């Protein structure tokens, strides 16, 4: 994974991409809760699956530019170890 050395956390693109990821995560959380009580709603399942795919694509793009979003094996790290780079996404 190549992190662009010219992009820095806190720049406008970083904040916009993180905001979009958070919005999709919110909708996925709500759909997950809805589907717990409405497991046969095919439209909601389709929406959930489409947003899950979109979220993976968005996260991959973000991580290619800024480094990992999640630790403990959920995201790859470039060299050197990128978890030393702050701010972490949850600190913004």
39 pLDDT higher than 60 = yes
Token readout for 23 is 């919005």
Q: How confident is the model at residue 47 (pLDDT cuts 50, 70, 90)?
A: very high
Average pLDDT of the residues of the chain: 82
Domain boundary assignment for the chain: 10-64
Nearest to 65 by CA among 89, 48, 47: 89
pTM above 0.75, yes or no: no
The DSSP secondary structure of 23-47, one letter per residue, reads: HHHHHHHHHHHHHHH-TT-HHHHHH
């Amino acid at each position: 994974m190549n992190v662009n050395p010219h992009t820095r956390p806190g720049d406008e693109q970083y904040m916009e991409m993180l905001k979009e990821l958070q919005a999709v995560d919110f909708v996925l959380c709500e759909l997950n809760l809805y589907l717990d009580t409405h497991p046969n709603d095919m439209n909601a399942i389709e929406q959930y699956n489409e947003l899950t795919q979109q979220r993976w694509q968005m996260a991959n793009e973000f991580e290619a530019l800024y480094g990992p979003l999640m630790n403990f094996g959920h995201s790859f790290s470039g060299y050197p170890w990128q978890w030393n780079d702050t701010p972490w996404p949850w600190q913004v």
